[in-house]
Every structure is written in C-alpha cells, then in structure tokens.
C-alpha cells in the first residue's frame, strides 16, 4: 500500500510526511481492513505532527476521517462484510469496563486509543480498525462528503450537544472551519439563529452563504447575546469575550483537543449569572451514530477541497494557513 508516514515530528512547513510503500496491514482478531477511498484532514493531525499533543506512536500514519470498502475480516468479526462501506474515526479503542465506559461516557476512558495517533490511520490506501469502532456510512453520502463527518461532524455534534442550545435559540460560533461549517447546518435545520466570528474573510463569506444571521471579525461586534456558544479555534484568548456575549444561564463549549492559554477572567463579568464553560473530549460511538443518522436526514453537504494523497503536506499547510473553506479531503487516486 501507499502511505504518508510521519517519521519525525516537525513543523508542517517542513513537509515532515513521507510517501512510503508498505505491506498492506493484516487485520487481527476483531479487526477489519478497508481499502481507503478518501480521508479528511483535521487540525488534530497538525497537533500530532507538530508535537502539540504528547508524543505517542512514531513512525505513524496520521488520519482519522477515513472512508473505504471492507476487503478483509479478522477472526471473530460478525457485524461487517466485505464490500461494505465504512468509516474510521478518532476513537478506536476503549476498555469497556471502567466507570466512564459503564456510564456511557467512553470518550473519557483512560485507556482509550486513537486513530492516526496511537495506531496507524487513514493517510494510506489501506487501513485497519476494530470492527466495533467502524461506522457504517449512509448511502446519502459520497466518500468525499462522508469523510469530514467522521471527526469534524462528530466533534461538532458533541460540541453542539454540550453547548445546550435550546430549540430556536441563538448560537455563537468562534472559528469557521471544518467542524463549524457542519454545525451551522445542524443548528439551522433545528430552527436556530447562528452568529459567526472568524478572522478569515473567505470563512466569513462561506458563513454568510450558509445562512448565518450575522458574521463578523470579533465578539465585541456581535449585535446580540447568544444562548449558547462554541469555540472551535484553538485560541484561549477568545474565551473571555465569548463569555461576555453569552446570555445569563448560557453555556460555552470549548471544542478543541488543544487550546492556547486562557487569559485571567473576572468572575462577575465573565462567569456570574450561571454562565457555564465546558470542554469537549473526543466522542462516544453513540455520538457518531447519531450524527451520521441526522446528517443523512438533513442531508448535510460538506464543502470540500480535494488533494491527492501525496499532497498531504500541502493540504495541511493550507489548513494551517486558513486557506481551506470547509474541509480538505485526501483522495487515493
């Protein structure tokens, strides 16, 4: 198989991913192998490559939004079959027995493992995943449209749920990248108004085209307070102004796996009147199943920019430079 491999951490500007010819992976017990057709890129991939997350496996094949067809089953697989279209997401293993797993909060499992980080992921023409962590892809989506839903969509869905947005309420979104452009479709379909803050003009233009009630460069310019808000940008300095634009009793969800330092806050100005802050940590498999089902009903249509697999470094460079509207997707040929 062909794969883009990270052999040494470094800035994406130095193109640290290398194209390699490797043997096809062999699925172990309870695993399936898929021939990958498309894999969306994600800012988390940058955090792995640039060592903003604690080092894990190296060398590693990044990627955790892969869609393909099952072509081999490991011993004991019963749910999936060859030829079936499935997806690989970030979460790929939990212990199943800790207090969090038993409570339906497997995203907090301390023994969890992740695709493209602890194990090889989808920047390759073939990949393996535990059968129980593979998602069946609805027929409503092409491979290219399905790939962004497997992280951007799932994490956006989890963040929206954590934000406790009331029906018909006002939602503030900070940063209008891959997850945000899925969330706006979910929120509008639920009858809500969406207010978007983004530093990039092309991102602001996309938000307007997708139906945002207001779009601007800063929270201070927002004309009303919102009932719920989500920060997708990994920028801690956005937290205080986002809280100032939150209604009493509102909730601010922090959706990133990584965020820069949050500045010192004033209790009365930012937190009093029962304003809440919550983080979003990975996702459960139930989050993924619910998101794919709702996305198929709407249906959600991601905005995608495609790159060939060997252009993965350039795709991630474009992502870091905020040159991609929506989601970048690697296609295998």
Q: Are strands 17-21 and 327-331 parallel, antiparallel or unpaired?
A: unpaired
Maximal C-alpha separation, the chain: 59
Distance CA 193, CA 53 (A): 34
What structural domains does the chain harbor? 2-151+282-331 (3.90.180.10), 154-279 (3.40.50.720)
pLDDT the model gives residue 26: 97
Instruction: Please give the structure tokens belonging to residue 194.
Output: 């969406």
- The CA-atom distances, in angstroms, between 252 and each of 45, 209, 230, 249, 272 are 24, 25, 6, 10, 13
Mean pLDDT for all residues in the chain: 96
* Res. 115: pLDDT tops 90: yes
Q: How does pLDDT run across 134-154, given as a tens digit for each residue?
A: 999 999 999 999 999 999 999
> What is the mean predicted confidence (pLDDT) over 223-243?
97
Q: Residue 282: which of 187, 180, 151 has the closest Cα?
A: 151
- The CA-atom distances, in angstroms, between 32 and each of 104, 123, 285 are 24, 17, 17
Q: Give residue 258's pLDDT band: very low, low, confident or very high (50, 70, 90).
A: confident
Q: How does pLDDT run across 193-206, given as a tens digit for each residue?
A: 999 999 999 999 99
Q: How does pLDDT run across 142-185, given as a tens digit for each residue?
A: 999 999 999 999 999 999 999 999 999 999 999 999 999 999 99
Distance CA 309, CA 266 (A): 47
* Res. 257: pLDDT tops 90: no
DSSP string, 73-104: E-TT--S--TT-EEEE-SEEE--S-SHHHHTT
* Res. 71: pLDDT tops 90: yes
């Amino acid at each position: 198989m062909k794969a883009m491999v990270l052999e040494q951490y470094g800035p994406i500007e130095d193109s640290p991913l290398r194209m390699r010819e490797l043997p096809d992976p062999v699925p172990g017990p309870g695993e399936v192998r898929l021939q990958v057709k498309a894999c969306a890129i994600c800012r988390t991939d940058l955090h792995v490559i640039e060592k903003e997350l604690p080092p894990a496996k190296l060398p590693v094949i990044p990627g955790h939004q892969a869609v393909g067809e099952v072509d081999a089953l490991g011993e004991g697989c019963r749910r999936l079959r060859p030829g079936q279209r499935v997806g690989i997401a970030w979460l790929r293993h939990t212990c199943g027995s800790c207090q969090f797993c038993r409570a339906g909060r497997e995203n907090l499992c301390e023994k969890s493992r992740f695709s493209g980080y602890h194990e090889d992921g989808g920047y390759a023409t073939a990949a393996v995943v535990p059968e129980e962590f593979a998602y069946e892809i609805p027929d409503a989506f092409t491979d290219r449209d399905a790939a962004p839903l497997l992280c951007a969509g799932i994490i956006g869905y989890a963040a929206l749920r954590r934000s406790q947005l009331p029906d018909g309420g006002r939602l503030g979104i900070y940063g209008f990248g891959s997850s945000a452009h899925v969330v706006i479709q979910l929120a509008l379909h639920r009858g809500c108004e969406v207010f978007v803050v983004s530093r990039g003009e092309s991102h602001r233009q996309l938000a307007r085209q997708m139906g945002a009630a207001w779009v601007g460069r800063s929270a201070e310019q927002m004309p009303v307070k919102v009932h719920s808000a989500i920060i997708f940008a990994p920028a801690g300095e956005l937290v205080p102004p986002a809280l100032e634009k939150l209604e009493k009793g509102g909730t601010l969800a922090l959706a990133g796996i990584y965020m820069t330092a949050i500045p010192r806050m004033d209790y009365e100005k930012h937190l009093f009147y029962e304003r809440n802050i919550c983080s979003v940590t990975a996702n459960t498999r139930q989050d993924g199943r619910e998101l794919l089902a709702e996305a198929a009903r709407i249906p959600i249509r991601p905005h995608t920019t495609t790159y060939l697999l060997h252009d993965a470094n350039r795709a991630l460079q474009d992502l870091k430079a905020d040159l991609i509207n929506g989601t970048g997707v690697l296609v295998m040929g």
